[in-house]
Amino acid sequence: DAMVIQNPRYQVTQFGKPVTLSCSQTLNHNVMYWYQQKSSQAPKLLFHYYDKDFNNEADTPDNFQSRRPNTSFCFLDIRSPGLGDAAMYLCATSSSGTSNQPQHFGDGTRLSIL
């Protein structure tokens, strides 16, 4: 089945130690998104790629970066994780950037900071 796969499902890192989360898709979608969801809060968009074009949300901390080496893969890099970065990170894709195309989500990576 075509899908969005996030690895790992659970990630534990130390305060200040860089961490990378991975997302891959077999849907061949143009757009890939990263969301952050803290406990009991709404998922919040961090940034997205339309093909190779990167779009950062205005309030996304500088600590968060992303790479998309090809259509299938997208990475979320957190350079110096703080305790406040502990959250569920969701990757999503859509076939085009238009609003009528629903986004397809992976199962998320839960990040814990020690």
Partner 1 sequence: DQQVKQNSPSLSVQEGRISILNCDYTNSMFDYFLWYKKYPAEGPTFLISISSIKDKNEDGRFTVFLNKSAKHLSLHIVPSQPGDSAVYFCAASSITGTASKLTFGTGTRLQVTL
Q: Which residues contact partner 1 by CB under 8 A?
A: 4, 6, 31, 33, 40-45, 48, 50, 53, 55, 57, 90, 92, 94, 96-108
Distance CA 29, CA 31 (A): 6
With respect to partner 1, which residue has the nearer C-beta, 81 or 108? 108
Q: How far is the CB of 31 from partner 1 (least distance, A)?
A: 5
Identity of the residue, 17 or 104, whose beta carbon is nearer to partner 1 in the bound complex? 104
- Measured from the CB of residue 15, what is the shortest distance to partner 1 in angstroms? 26
- Least distance CB 60 / partner 1 (angstroms): 12
- Nearer to partner 1 by C-beta: 50 or 75? 50
Q: Which is nearer to partner 1, 18 or 51 (CB)?
A: 51
CB of 78 vs partner 1, minimal distance in Å: 20
Q: Per residue, what are the HEC states of 58-110?
A: CCCCCCEEEECCCCCEEEEEECCCCHHHCEEEEEEEECCCCCCCCCEECCCEE
Tokens 């997208």 -> residue: 74
Between β-strands 87-94 and 73-78, what pairing exists: parallel, antiparallel or unpaired?
Answer: unpaired
Q: Distance between CA 97 and CA 90 in Å, rounded? A: 18
